[in-house]
Amino acid sequence: MSAHDEAFSGFVAARRPHLVRTAYALCGDWHRADDLVQTALLKLYAAWRRVESGSEEAYVRTILVRAHIDQARRPWWKRERFGDLPERPAPAEQVEERSELFDALQALPEMQRKVVVLRHWLQLSVAETARELRISEGTVKSHSSRGLAALRTCLESGDAFRA
Amino acid sequence: MDWHDALDLAIPHPPPTSAEPAALVAAGKKAVRRRRAVAAGGTALLVAAVIGLGSTYAPWRDRAAPPPPIATQSEAGEALGSYPTQPPLSDASPLRYDFDTNEVTLHDGWEEAGRIERKEIRRLLGHDYSQLFLAATNGEKTVYANFMNPTEIAYADAAGTNGKSLGEWAEDVAAHHVEPRWSVGGSIRVGDGWTITREIDNPLGYDLPWDSEAAVAEREGMEVWILFTGNRPKGGGSGEGYGVAYAAPGQTIEGYIAHRDKEIDRDLAASTGGYSASMSEAVEFGDGSELVPAEDGVEILEQVADPDLGEKFADGASRSAAARITVNGKEQVAIAREKDGLTLVYTVEVADGPRSEDRDTRSLEDVLAMVKARETDPETGGGLFP
């Protein structure tokens, strides 16, 4: 195995679970999350030599966020993959395990959700969030404020951590 | 409130996976090769690069529950024509767009009433969102159309858009996605602002544990057709997939469903089949390569020594065998291999097809052929027997 492949494999082994989780936070669907991460990692592989050491995760996250935006912008993005249905299960217990806060996060308008995930979960700065989402810093702040207000309402109205 | 901690608690972790990065490396190499081939003027299709990776990357594969079936990807099947997104010109379908020549054609008596081209689309909606938004009118009725690409074209009756201009409609289309959701046995749900106007229960006539569901959803004069298929086997490993298409003028959802039905059947016919495999203690080696029951309720119906499951399976094995068995009356195939003093036993269960008439009994040889096809796949490499 080449040094390139070895380094890439090490990154994938170490960071894929977190990347899948990030994608799931963005899209709320394990199937799509897996697809997004797979696509992003393939792009990373192709660009590995060009990506500055230590920036791999940021590179993938950017692809992830923008790929999700690109996909979601298409009103009829489709997932016709009947042939591999059985290998991508969504066990019922996963649905039951979702907390109300997570459901509330998924119920946010798309850009609010992305801002909340990037800014408040991944703890990117306002400027970094704006750059990743290709929106202004002011828009980040307004999405952040509205998104958190909606989540706060959810927390106040029930036990958001009930599994 | 510490939002980071609250969100970190709320966002689920993916189930653990033992998927090997090596398969991703292989797919990456393939993608790079194909990209180079295309750059060099080749005609290779980039889109195939990730096909076949599903089982390797599916993070649910290694859950503690019985592993989900592993489907073998379909081979290239007979090509079906694309679903007709641009019907012949008529008053119901008064405008067409040629993606090659950028030429717009209107039905007699209709004239163009508005147009948003790529530069403006890019400003409004982002890079490469679509080719063209167009409005056409005959003085009595106005139709909006969004020509994204030859297979994605949205139409709306302007009268149903609450007075939106073409530009406002364009922004609305981009901002409101139908985002359908469904679970086997349930009803289809759609995103905010969309309304289900018709739902068709099991239009594909599937038999349990499979199911299908279709719906027409409407938003502001625009219709989409949704078709879900899924299964929920008792042993776990449920899954759903779906297709969504814009309603083309003059076409019906029944036509769309019939088209998808053919596509799905074609894919299934070209597939070598799906199966689930889980580690088992149902059988063990007796003398030599003979398998014997190791649990109550297990009966061995037939068995073969040293099954051919590829070089990786055979390499270094001191003994191996496969058997058709019943476990409490349920038929399965057991595969066992001893290597370096360690015996691994899997029971394999073939996934049911969607229709009961297609669920032929598989022989031991058939099942072993399916397992071999997966285990020797150069791209995904199986992985049951390291």
Judged by CB atoms closer than 8 Å, whether chains meet at A42 and B22 is answered as no
Contacts of A81 in chain B (CB under 8 A): 54, 241
Is the Cβ–Cβ distance between B350 and B274 less than 8 Å? yes
B358, B328: one domain = yes
* pLDDT for residue B348: 85
Reported as a single tens digit per residue, the pLDDT across B187-196 is 898 888 899 9
Average pLDDT of the residues of chain B = 77
B residues 335-374 lying closer than 8 A (beta carbon) to A: 351
Q: Which of A38, A83, A90 is opposite residue B50, by nearest beta carbon?
A: A38
A9, A78: one domain = yes
* pLDDT for residue B257: 92
Is residue B19, in this structure, part of any structural domain at all? yes
B338, B285: one domain = yes
Q: Tell which residue, A23, A21, A54, has the closest CA to residue A40.
A: A23
Burial B151-189 (b: 16+ CB within 10 A, else e): ebbbbbebeebeebebeebbebbbebbbbbbbbbeeebe
Judged by CB atoms closer than 8 Å, whether chains meet at B68 and A86 is answered as yes
Q: Tell which residue, B176, B175, B134, B125, has the closest CA to residue B153.
A: B134
Q: Which of B9, B25, B178 is opposite residue A5, by nearest beta carbon?
A: B25
A83, A133: one domain = no
* pLDDT for residue B248: 84
Is residue B51, in this structure, part of any structural domain at all? yes
Q: Tell which residue, B131, B47, B206, A17, has the closest CA to residue A25.
A: A17
Whether B34 has a pLDDT exceeding 70, the answer reads: no
Is residue B381, in this structure, part of any structural domain at all? no
Contacts of B54 in chain A (CB under 8 A): 81, 84, 87-88
Whether B260 has a pLDDT exceeding 60, the answer reads: yes
Q: Which of B54, B263, B276 is opposite residue A88, by nearest beta carbon?
A: B54
Judged by CB atoms closer than 8 Å, whether chains meet at B54 and A87 is answered as yes
Helix/strand/coil for A91: coil
Whether B154 has a pLDDT exceeding 80, the answer reads: yes
Cα angle value B260/B266/B269 (rounded, 5°)? 140
Which parts of B138-265 are beta strand (E)? 142-149, 152-157, 195-201, 210-219, 222-231, 239-246
Whether A49 has a pLDDT exceeding 50, the answer reads: yes
Whether B73 has a pLDDT exceeding 80, the answer reads: no
Cis amide leading into B209 (omega within 30)? yes
- Could you say which of A72, A90, A108 is where a domain stops? A90
* pLDDT for residue B290: 94
B285, B371: one domain = yes
Q: Which of B11, B28, B239 is opposite residue A25, by nearest beta carbon?
A: B11
- For residue A6, the distance in angstroms to the closest alpha carbon of chain B comes to 9
- Could you say which of B270, B289, B309 is where a domain stops? B270
- Could you say which of B250, B270, B290 is where a domain stops? B270
* pLDDT for residue B45: 19
B137, B225: one domain = no
Reported as a single tens digit per residue, the pLDDT across B196-255 is 999 999 999 988 888 899 999 999 889 999 988 887 766 555 566 777 888 888 888 999
A3, A74: one domain = yes
- Axis-axis angle for helices A126-133, A137-157 (nearest 10): 100
CB atoms inside a 10 Å sphere around CB A49 = 6
Reported as a single tens digit per residue, the pLDDT across B347-379 is 888 777 788 877 777 789 988 988 888 778 765
User: Domain range spanning residue B19?
Assistant: 15-65
Q: How confident is the model at residue B269 (pLDDT cuts 50, 70, 90)?
A: low
CA-to-CA distance for A135 and A111, rounded, in angstroms?
A: 10
* pLDDT for residue A135: 79
Judged by CB atoms closer than 8 Å, whether chains meet at A41 and B28 is answered as yes
* pLDDT for residue A97: 45
Which of A36-40, B94-98, B233-237 is the most confident on average? B94-98
* pLDDT for residue A153: 83
Based on the structure, what is the number of domains in chain A? 2
A101, A153: one domain = yes
Quick one: three-class SS letters along B35-46? HHHHHCCCCCCH
* pLDDT for residue B234: 66
Of A13 and B298, the structure prediction assigns the larger pLDDT to B298
Of B75 and B36, the structure prediction assigns the larger pLDDT to B36
What token pair was written down for A7? 């380094």
Whether B239 has its CB under 8 Å from any CB of chain A: the answer is: yes
Q: Tell which residue, A110, A19, A113, A29, has the closest CA to residue A72.
A: A110
B261, B279: one domain = no
- Could you say which of A57, A90, A123 is where a domain stops? A90
* pLDDT for residue B144: 94
CATH number for position A118 = 1.10.10.10
Contacts of A80 in chain B (CB under 8 A): 241-243, 260, 263
Is the Cβ–Cβ distance between B219 and B178 less than 8 Å? yes
Q: Tell which residue, B293, B358, B357, B356, has the closest CA to residue B324.
A: B293
Helix/strand/coil for A19: helix
Is the Cβ–Cβ distance between B110 and B92 less than 8 Å? no
The stretch B75-92 carries a mean pLDDT of 65
A84, A98: one domain = no
What token pair was written down for B272? 């070598």
Is the Cβ–Cβ distance between B305 and B289 less than 8 Å? yes
The stretch B39-49 carries a mean pLDDT of 23
- For residue A24, the distance in angstroms to the closest alpha carbon of chain B comes to 8
- For residue A72, the distance in angstroms to the closest alpha carbon of chain B comes to 7
CA-to-CA distance for B344 and B335, rounded, in angstroms?
A: 8
- Could you say which of A90, A124, A150 is where a domain stops? A90
Segment among A8-22, A48-62, B19-33 with least mean pLDDT: B19-33
Helix (H) or strand (E) holding B3: helix B3-10
* pLDDT for residue A85: 32
Judged by CB atoms closer than 8 Å, whether chains meet at A8 and B274 is answered as no
Based on the structure, what is the number of domains in chain B? 4
Judged by CB atoms closer than 8 Å, whether chains meet at A76 and B69 is answered as no
- For residue A156, the distance in angstroms to the closest alpha carbon of chain B comes to 12
The stretch A75-93 carries a mean pLDDT of 35
Is residue B180, in this structure, part of any structural domain at all? no
The residue type of B371 is V
Judged by CB atoms closer than 8 Å, whether chains meet at A12 and B24 is answered as yes
Whether B47 has its CB under 8 Å from any CB of chain A: the answer is: no
Whether B271 has its CB under 8 Å from any CB of chain A: the answer is: yes
Is the Cβ–Cβ distance between B354 and B207 less than 8 Å? yes
* pLDDT for residue A42: 82
CA separation, residue B194 to residues A71, B17, B188, B215, B248 (Å) = 19, 36, 12, 12, 18
* pLDDT for residue B236: 57
A40, A117: one domain = no
CATH number for position B212 = 3.10.450
Of B324 and B210, the structure prediction assigns the larger pLDDT to B324
Helix/strand/coil for B347: strand
The stretch B36-51 carries a mean pLDDT of 25
The stretch A120-142 carries a mean pLDDT of 86
* pLDDT for residue B57: 22
CA-to-CA distance for A101 and A153, rounded, in angstroms?
A: 10
Judged by CB atoms closer than 8 Å, whether chains meet at B1 and A152 is answered as yes
User: Domain range spanning residue A125?
Assistant: 94-163
- Axis-axis angle for helices B166-175, B118-125 (nearest 10): 50
The stretch B34-63 carries a mean pLDDT of 26
Q: Which of B50, B176, B246 is opposite residue A39, by nearest beta carbon?
A: B50
Q: How confident is the model at residue B337 (pLDDT cuts 50, 70, 90)?
A: very high
Helix/strand/coil for B198: strand
Judged by CB atoms closer than 8 Å, whether chains meet at A91 and B174 is answered as no
A53, A18: one domain = yes
Q: How confident is the model at residue B16 (pLDDT cuts 50, 70, 90)?
A: low
Judged by CB atoms closer than 8 Å, whether chains meet at B239 and A41 is answered as no
- Axis-axis angle for helices A56-73, A3-27 (nearest 10): 40
* pLDDT for residue B352: 74
Segment among A122-126, A134-138, B54-58, B287-291 with least mean pLDDT: B54-58
Whether B229 has its CB under 8 Å from any CB of chain A: the answer is: yes
Q: Residue B234's closest chain A neighbor by CA?
A: A91
What token pair was written down for B246? 């814009």
Judged by CB atoms closer than 8 Å, whether chains meet at A83 and B267 is answered as yes
